[in-house]
Amino acid sequence: ETADIGVTGLATMGRNLARNLAHHGYVVALHNRSESKTKQIMADHSDEGAFLPASSMAEFVASLRRPRRAIIMVKAGPATDAVIEELAALMEPGDMIVDGGNAHFADTRRREAALKERGLHFVGAGISGGEEGALNGPSIMPGGSVESYRELGPMLESIAAQVDGVPCCVHVGPDGAGHFVKMVHNGIEYSDMQLIAEAYDLLRQALGRSPAELAEIFREWNRGDLESYLIEITAEVLDHVDASGQPLVDVIVDQAEQKGTGRWTVASALDLGVPVTGIAEAVFARALSGHPEQRAAARNLEGPNGTAPNYSLVEDVRLALYASKIIAYAQGFDQITAASEEFGWNIDRGAMATIWRGGCIIRARFLDRIRTAYEANPQLPTLLADPTFAEALTEAQQAWRRVVSTAAQIGVPTPGFSSALAYYDGLRRERLPAALIQGLRDFFGAHTYRRIDRDGTFHTDWSGDRTERPA
Ligand code: NBP
């Protein structure tokens, strides 16, 4: 009973997380369904810290000091349920099970409730940063009880990425809050990548620049407002020439795949009634790319394939990208707000921006601005209302409109830029055509409407004398 913590599931993520814990001085118990992975770590890394390898789950649990803390890093879904059950059967009240996989937050809520009945703490912890992050400092988003965080927090904070001396790990909220926030993080990652891809596509078509020239533009952008990990690696990918001598981006099949967290984010947003158009367009753009038969069938449809030689286009696209990014993040934070209210999570949005500054895929200078915005006004109704972001949008909006119209004129699809602009104009519009929609709903379905000049709900007798009655 000497291990501070254990990790079961020692594939890429689990192995690196266990090593990270050991590097920080913790005694780490190791377990994997097939023992070969456990042995491999001992062969390759046992000199890096204190590991206690176990060949069975019983041995693994027996090696943990109390209250026991075990992190599960296995494939999300039924495998996670199976491992939880095995662990729970061997544990005692007060012990803690942490799921660091990419679980759906509804599964985490279900598991947390079931384990609480058995006196166990269950912590669904979102972990971002891929294998490199797991080893050297990920962004960690743990849910679960306050008591469990008291025990686990210091350990998780010590292995997380650190930015300005602040760990990229904070207690997000009860039950599924951590996995929810991780899900939205992944959704935002989809929209960031879509916007970058649109900027690349538009500049390439409009200006006829080569991937290497475009890499230079992204490198330049990475020195300003857009500075981020994804912009940085965009330059790397665009610059890469493969063994055949061609830019790699030109030989990769243009069908984007997805594992499902983007889809989960959009499905949850539909349930919550939050317009996350930036994430949704990104998910749908990937889906469109993955239908080669439809793309082949549509290839000869009429439309321009023009250029737009225009000296200010590069700067215009930079501004459109930044403005659209603000919209996508504003929408993602709205979704967190809505879920926090729906599930009683009481999530501190500024703290979420803080822990996304490092370790994770969307890490960016930009997140400091979001943190500042929520610190200045914790009740901010939308990020667009923050003075700094409002000013950035004001500065960008003319360029943004030029970009969307140029893209439409030369036939380059920019669903991210266009839908973000439509969202911006929708929110700032004094009167929306939703009034007409309400009129139509009342006409065909007697769904009633409210008036701007009187309280109450009303119905017009459309099929009769068209007088209005209170409903
Ligand atoms: P995988 O998602 O590829 O899962 C492999 C691990 O699951 C192995 O240890 C395997 O054991 C174990 N496992 C399976 Br599969 N079925 C099992 C079962 N029924 N009982 C017990 N163990 C079982 O590993 P990963 O890529 O390291 O990811 C781990 C988790 O972290 C996942 O939930 C993933 O979504 C999440 N995540 C991954 C990344 C990333 O960049 N890869 C980033 C963030 C989060 P075996 O060796 O005996 O087959």
Q: For the CA atoms of 256, 257, 263, 265, what is the dihedral angle to 10 degrees?
A: -80
For 273, half-sphere exposure in the C-beta direction (CA atoms, 13 angstrom radius) is 3
| Alpha carbons 328 and 357: distance in angstroms, whole number | 16
Residues contacting ligand 1 via CB (< 6 Å): 9-14, 32-34, 37, 73-76, 79, 82-83, 101-102, 127, 130-131
Amino acid at 166: V
Number of H helices, E strands in the chain: 20, 12
Ligand 1 centroid to residue 11 C-alpha, Å: 6
| Alpha carbons 359 and 275: distance in angstroms, whole number | 28
Catalytic residue among 86, 112, 157, 182: 182
Nearest CA to ligand 1 atom 19: 79
Residue 218, sorted as left (phi over 0), alpha (psi -120 to 50) or beta, turns out to be alpha
Please identify which residue in the block is written with the tokens 């500065």: 395
Nearest CA to ligand 1 atom 6: 74
* 189: annotated active-site residue: yes
Amino acid at 412: V
Task: Output the known binding site for substrate.
Answer: 102, 128-130, 185-186, 190, 259, 286, 441, 447
Residues ≥6 apart with Cβ < 8 Å to 149: 123, 142, 171
Q: Three-class SS of residue 202? A: helix
| Alpha carbons 55 and 34: distance in angstroms, whole number | 9
Q: What are the tens digits of pLDDT across the range 163-218?
A: 999 999 999 999 999 999 999 999 999 999 999 999 999 999 999 999 999 999 99
Cα distances (Å, whole numbers) of residue 284 to 234, 333, 346, 415: 21, 20, 31, 9
Do 104 and 263 contact (CB within 8 A), yes or no? Answer: no
Please identify which residue in the block is written with the tokens 């993955």: 290
Is ipTM > 0.85 here? Answer: yes
Position in ligand 1 atom list of the atom nearest CA 11:
27
Give the pLDDT means over successive 10-residue stretches in the chain (471 positions). Answer: 94 98 98 98 98 98 97 97 98 98 97 98 97 97 97 97 97 98 98 98 97 98 97 98 97 95 98 98 98 97 92 95 98 98 98 96 94 96 98 98 97 98 98 98 98 98 98 92
| Alpha carbons 269 and 336: distance in angstroms, whole number | 9
Ligand 1 centroid to residue 37 C-alpha, Å: 12
| Alpha carbons 100 and 143: distance in angstroms, whole number | 11
Nearest CA to ligand 1 atom 39: 130
Give the pair of three-digit tokens for residue 373.
Answer: 């915005």
Phi, then psi, of 55 in degrees rounded to 5: -95, -10
* 182: annotated active-site residue: yes
Q: Model-level pTM? A: 0.97
Catalytic residue among 86, 112, 157, 189: 189
DSSP result, 290-344: T-HHHHHHHTTS---------TTHHHHHHHHHHHHHHHHHHHHHHHHHHHHHHHT
| Alpha carbons 195 and 362: distance in angstroms, whole number | 13
Do 234 and 201 contact (CB within 8 A), yes or no? Answer: no
Position in ligand 1 atom list of the atom nearest CA 100:
31
Residue 310: what pLDDT? 78
Amino acid at 96: M
Nearest CA to ligand 1 atom 1: 75
Nearest CA to ligand 1 atom 2: 75
Residue 400: what pLDDT? 98
| Alpha carbons 333 and 341: distance in angstroms, whole number | 12
Please identify which residue in the block is written with the tokens 């055949």: 244
